[in-house]
Amino acid sequence: MSDQATSPVAATTAKMTPKSAAFDFRKYRPFAFAPSLPDRTWPSKTIEKSPIWASVDLRDGNQALIDPMTIEQKMRFFNTLVDVGFKEIEIGFPSAAQVEFDFARKLIEENHVPDDVTLQVLVQAREHLIARTFESLKGVKRAVVHVYNSTSRVQREKVYAKDKAEIKEIAITGAKLLQQYAAKYPETDWVFQYSPESFSQTETDYAVEVCDAVCEVWQPQQGQEVILNLPATVEASMPNVFADQVEYFCRNLAHREHVIISLHTHNDRGCAVAAAELGVLAGADRIEGTLLGNGERTGNMDIMVMAMNLFSQGIDPELDFSNMSEIVQVVSECNNLPLHPRHPYVGELVFTAFSGSHQDAIKKSLDYNEKHQDETDNVWDVAYLPIDPAHIGRSYQDVVRINSQSGKGGVAYILQRNYGFNLPRWMQIDFSGVVQKQAETAARELQNDEILQTFETTYLQQGKFELLDYSVNNKGGDVYFNGQVQMHGDIIDIDGTGNGPLSSFIDGLAQHTGKSLHVINYAEHAINPHHNSGNGIDDDTNNDNKTNANAAAYIQLNIDGEVYSGIGTCSSTVSAMLKGALSAFAQAVGKTAA
Ligand SMILES: CC(=O)SCCNC(=O)CCNC(=O)[C@H](O)C(C)(C)COP(=O)(O)OP(=O)(O)OC[C@H]1O[C@@H](n2cnc3c(N)ncnc32)[C@H](O)[C@@H]1OP(=O)(O)O
Ligand SMILES: CC(C)C(=O)C(=O)O
Ligand SMILES: [Mg+2]
């Protein structure tokens, strides 16, 4: 028998073959348009500033919707884009439909366009459409007219049935028509943009040839720059290949210095943002995309993600997403598309850790930063959280959520952040076992109030055991405890001696019950008042050592050889401590009774 026949991989492959006949990779060919660029420079570059952004939500995004936007929706979206800080906004395809035309007119006639915002519109290289497009823009101060025709091999051969020279001629005609019509509206500051549509599936040297021909018509110069927009209309290669195409294009273009190189990537392979980022390294100045990545098929490049990627590297993205939830709401409602809960930066779950080790690391990082504020220069550096959720208006509320995958750090985080209980490690271990069982039994996420309730019933509501009146007195170096404890409805006198209130109380409990009791661990803290809402804190004003804040005490006792943890809360630290001991004791009795 050969090695191949015995290997488990070979066995799997052999089984798959008949089934995979319909799943035929042999129908595909490797990507054929990668230019040869052995001396590429982009891999050793870094992005140091934000590119020029152009939103195409209202055009490319809109043309991909089941129900295109109404004028009202476009208006709402446009205002949001302006608020976010976009200075170039492709508002539509005015020659395509009346609503598109009317929207352009509304923006212009009703003065909705801020002085520093430039409208952009798209049109095919066809005269009647170009004529209508300029008509739609009459009276605008400044506008980008964006003309395109596809240059890809498949479109040349199968859609247009034209050779390279004929396709170039469409581009040249379009460029000339833009000039002619622009001349009819001299009151407007016109900017010309050309896209060799499907650039990435075009031979790159041919794309350069077509764009050079367009520039020959437009004659870009200082103060009269043009935009050449390079689309990955359908993403068909790895992003490094796209970057090679962009660098090749930039290096070989005749009028590079007077041309703004723009990129327009789509997300068919899931790498639209990566392609745009590498394309910027390769020399691009401008990026077209949409918020949340809506667009044809798998969508356009998500500008929000790319901008937030820059933000998370300490680069000013020149777009303001601090009001993220409102932005997301407008985008989702206008597009009538739901947001994936794991959408980068904005999904409901992207700042949430369910798993124990992540929660532990997040809690420890946040605690560390709080303690070392002076040393960190306030620079964000938290495990598992690439940015501070607060920067985009998210709370820390959801950073940790609890299910059966969670650990002690996560449960401790919930109790600390929401209810002010700062559990010591040994207490975290004790309580996390309780929560783990509860989550496993429920087989679902546990809500914060359920965790608090479990915390209270486990440690705080020892209803059958209650510390009543007591006093502690120092005499000759010893401390004497005298008080009453209610146990199962009986009121019992407790007297004990020790070197402090706790040890004298424990001594009294031991004497009364005949059990052996020793303190193993002890911790206490004031409960931060802003965490207090809704917790099970006792406000007993019983005794001495009053503090303004409520106190929580955590006690671990060895009772007859077994370990029990308890918690007490009170406005008095001593009472909290004694209640904590009684809480641990009650569990031991409860366990014996059970
Ligand atoms: C990658 C992109 O996103 S490109 C933008 C795509 N967006 C849209 O198409 C949405 C808006 N478009 C529309 O509503 C319509 O296409 C319209 C109104 C503009 C034009 O509609 P129609 O005239 O009915 O034609 P249709 O779109 O089917 O156009 C195809 C014709 O235009 C030609 N054509 C297509 N694109 C271009 C172009 N960019 N430049 C020149 N000619 C073009 C085709 O070769 C075809 O020619 P034929 O009629 O000789 O066969
Ligand atoms: C019109 C062009 C820029 C386009 O949307 C594309 O090629 O994806
Ligand atoms: Mg597109």
Domain borders along the chain are 51-335, 356-459, 461-593
What number is the average pLDDT over the span 548-560?
87
For the chain, what percentages of helix, strand and coil (3-state, to nearest 5) are there?
A: 45, 20, 35
Q: Would you say the CB of residue 300 lies under 6 angstroms from ligand 2?
A: no
The closest-lying atom of ligand 1 relative to the alpha carbon of residue 60 is 3
ipTM: 0.98
Q: Do residues 292 and 321 lie in contact, with contact meaning Cβ atoms separated by under 8 Å?
A: no
pLDDT at residue 161 tops 90: yes
| Tokens, residue 585 | 């004791």
Pairing of strands 286-289, 52-55: parallel
Q: How far apart are CA 151 and CA 137, in angstroms?
A: 27
- What are phi and psi for residue 145, nearest 5 degrees? -105, 125
Query: Distance, CA 296 to ligand 1 centroid (Å)?
Result: 15
Amino acid at 169: E
Task: Give the rounded distance of the alpha carbon of 303 from its chain centre.
Answer: 13
Ligand 2: residue of 123, 133, 148 to mutate (most ligand atoms within 8 A of CB) is 148
Q: What is the model's pLDDT at position 592?
A: 58
Residue 479's region, left for phi above 0, alpha for psi from -120 to 50, else beta, is beta
Q: Residue 144 forms beta bridges with which residues?
A: 120, 191
Q: How far apart are CA 118 and CA 53, in angstroms?
A: 11
Q: Do domains 51-335 and 461-593 have the same CATH topology?
A: no
Q: Structurally, what CATH architecture does the domain formed by 461-593 represent?
A: 2-Layer Sandwich (3.30)
pLDDT, tens only, 339-398? 999 999 999 999 999 999 999 999 999 999 999 988 878 899 999 999 999 999 998 888
391 annotated as a binding-site residue: no
Q: Would you say the CB of residue 197 lies under 6 angstroms from ligand 2?
A: yes
Q: Given pLDDT bands bounded at 50, 70 and 90, which one contains residue 527?
A: confident
pLDDT, tens only, 5-29? 444 444 445 455 555 678 999 999 9
Q: Do residues 296 and 273 lie in contact, with contact meaning Cβ atoms separated by under 8 Å?
A: no
Ligand nearest the Cα atom of residue 195: 2
| Tokens, residue 455 | 């915390």
pLDDT, tens only, 422-472? 999 999 999 999 999 999 999 999 999 999 999 999 998 666 789 999 999
Query: Distance, CA 231 to ligand 2 centroid (Å)?
Result: 6
| CATH 3.20.20.70, domain 51-335, yes or no | yes
300 annotated as a binding-site residue: yes
CA dihedral 168, 169, 174, 180 (to 10 degrees): 140
Q: Would you say the CB of residue 156 lies under 6 angstroms from ligand 2?
A: no
Query: Distance, CA 231 to ligand 3 centroid (Å)?
Result: 7
pLDDT, tens only, 446-456? 999 999 999 99
pLDDT, tens only, 68-117? 999 999 999 999 999 999 999 999 999 999 999 999 999 999 999 999 99
Q: Would you say the CB of residue 93 lies under 6 angstroms from ligand 1?
A: yes
258 annotated as a binding-site residue: no
Atom 19 of ligand 1 has which residue's CA nearest to it? 96
Q: How far apart are CA 483 and CA 481, in angstroms?
A: 7
